[in-house]
Chain A
């Protein structure tokens, strides 16, 4: 799946490193197994040499495995740290932030994602963010554990009640990115999807403003109805 954020680029690189490492191990194992099975298939009764141990061989194998594991650990830390780096807003991004990331709250609830923007506006299902702008998503939950998962843009993050999980990302080009939830959260879990619309900063500002006005208007209408004794 195509990556559209520097963080997911690093994730993809580490994924490749892991896949190659796994492939090396699998090829070595399967190769050795096939060789041994074909070469030493023997007749009943023949007595093979009773080899018990090879101490130096053992140290060598252990040494190679240790170096392999240590190398993977170092690569794992390096690329994880790179993936965690705070991205900085670029020239095409939202200028009004002055270098600060755009903070948006993502709330998982059975079975919808809600997004709260800095100006008080909110949206359900669809998250709208400006392109080339550092986003700090605070992933929280109001009920059970959910996992926010838009894999082209950012890492997976669990929304755990009572905890905040921070996700940093920056989208490199406008578009619509599909996402879903990755932890079983009850009956409608599979239908709990989301979508991130990456738009230009101008369109983003228009969106949150319009969204905020509409929410205010709706609230006023409901408050007005209640004050008049009607049911909204």
Chain B
């Protein structure tokens, strides 16, 4: 055995040929975790829409028997959990997690393993929710109100599985949020003061703080529910010191906070897209940043807007109304400044901007309709009618589907190095818009005029809502087709889209400074950050230098005398 002829550099234990799925399953890298969340979210969007379509088939004609009452309630419960915990929130956190560290010029995250555990918990939650098909899914609805969620009324394992699934997912989101808060606090690039942080990264900070607070509240409520169900607890049981209304308070704090979180995410993404595609800075940046923080706080404090028909004091109802109406100011200012950013710009109507404008439109209609639900006496009529279904869906489809797809089209080139197909994106956009309007505008009328109630597995022929429901069902089918087009577009473009380069949109923030897709360490070098638009500063500096050298060359080439 002869000694090695000369010393070698060896990266010990490093194997380049790991299968992709092993890499994804074991990675703590924020980009890979973000991509898994995002892919999962799109998958669950598909599943949630299948469930919605099944419910809408049941509601196509009066007193239909397509689904049994129990099957309908199961679809409803699965749809609610899938849409919120396994589509909207993971989409939001997937994008937060992928993009925000890049935007602040971080080479990783502060607590990478925490995020990895968060992803694993979310996957476990999703598995538990859909493993219920092996036994019995929950029948208790989107927000299973106590005491229907107690073992005395639903003794099978459905509610347990629901609580476990949503609890695991929520714990995952909280852990991801903790990491994001720490990353944004400690790992910003030199020169990136808070006032220079990109708007989407700011939305990430606000949204993560919000999730840490409201996620913890839901985890407490779910724990109490499990103690009630399995260890003779009395938290939500009436009579022995418990209070069914306590569940409503705790759960609505979470759901209201999550609603706000989805909108904050959407506004953050729209702000980036509006600025980039109009080639202008965001109008009144500081005001928009302050408004997003205000929305998180005031919006969550409006949770009792969901309880205006419950036996709570009238003073609390006025408090909820005050908070809801106070939201007009920050929401109004954000929307005003987003539109003012577009005004005076040179708009490039590419897919991200198209979806962003759709998001502003849908969120605006949803929030304006919610306004009626915050006026106490009006809510006494509108509460739990399909009018509230429509308002919520406008706001959340606006935020999570339009806003989410806008963000997806915008950052897809960064994640994959390829842009999504533009024609398909436009067809998808118009289909989704038509589906949203057809699918939910009739529900405004069915609810406000005829008082059709939510969550019911059937309606009756003489109640004047048949035509509305037929149109709504057709609309949801159209919506489903439109969403499917974008999912297919993403799948095909991942491998076959046109190559994008590192900065396809001429963006101003740091994520466009690195490669597409970025290296595991994100950045080799970072520019000095001197403004909220570091890449624009670089472009201007290069332009100036080019101009100077051209002028110098011109001077030198002039003949003497």
| CB atoms of B278 and A40 under 8 A apart | yes
CB contact between B381 and one of A15, A47, A188 (< 8 Å): that residue: A15
CB B176 to nearest CB in A, in angstroms, measures 31
Does A107 interact with chain B (Cβ within 8 Å)?
no
| CB atoms of A145 and B148 under 8 A apart | yes
Within 8 A of A (CB), among B432-483: 448-451, 453-459
| CB atoms of B309 and A158 under 8 A apart | yes
Known: A151-B451, A180-B453, A184-B140. A156 touches B381 (CB 8 A): yes
Interface size for A (C-beta < 8 A) is 82
| CB atoms of B456 and A162 under 8 A apart | no
| CB atoms of B283 and A161 under 8 A apart | no
Does B504 interact with chain A (Cβ within 8 Å)?
no
Known: A25-B368, A51-B280. A163 touches B245 (CB 8 A): yes
* B-side contacts of A147, CB under 8 Å: 309, 383-384
CB B237 to nearest CB in A, in angstroms, measures 8
| CB atoms of B311 and A163 under 8 A apart | yes
**Closest Cβ neighbor of B391 among chain A residues:** A22
* A-side contacts of B526, CB under 8 Å: none
* B-side contacts of A70, CB under 8 Å: 325
Known: A19-B372, A151-B451. A37 touches B346 (CB 8 A): no
Q: How far is it, in angstroms, between the C-alpha of A12 and the C-alpha of B365 when the chains are bound?
A: 21
| CB atoms of A14 and B385 under 8 A apart | no
| CB atoms of B310 and A160 under 8 A apart | yes
| CB atoms of A36 and B239 under 8 A apart | no
| CB atoms of B343 and A58 under 8 A apart | no
Contact segment of B10-18, B38-46, B125-133, B314-322: B314-322
**Closest Cβ neighbor of A110 among chain B residues:** B153
Does B329 interact with chain A (Cβ within 8 Å)?
yes
| CB atoms of A22 and B310 under 8 A apart | no
| CB atoms of A145 and B145 under 8 A apart | yes
Contact segment of B89-97, B334-342, B517-525: B334-342
| CB atoms of A66 and B329 under 8 A apart | yes
Known: A42-B347, A156-B383. A145 touches B244 (CB 8 A): yes
Q: How far is it, in angstroms, between the C-alpha of A73 and the C-alpha of B377 when the chains are bound?
A: 12
Does A125 interact with chain B (Cβ within 8 Å)?
no
* A-side contacts of B453, CB under 8 Å: 149, 180-182, 190
CB B386 to nearest CB in A, in angstroms, measures 11
Contact segment of B187-195, B356-364, B421-429: B356-364
Within 8 A of B (CB), among A38-78: 39-44, 46-54, 58, 61-62, 65-66, 68-70, 72-73, 75-77
Q: List 23 A-B contacts (CB under 8 A).
A: A1-B450, A14-B378, A29-B339, A36-B342, A40-B344, A48-B346, A49-B344, A52-B285, A62-B329, A73-B325, A76-B377, A76-B378, A79-B375, A80-B314, A80-B375, A145-B146, A155-B377, A160-B245, A160-B310, A163-B245, A164-B311, A183-B145, A186-B139
A22-B368, A73-B321 known, 4 other contacts, Cβ within 8 Å: A72-B371, A76-B378, A162-B243, A180-B453
CB-based closest 4 A-B pairs: A42-B346, A155-B380, A18-B372, A162-B238
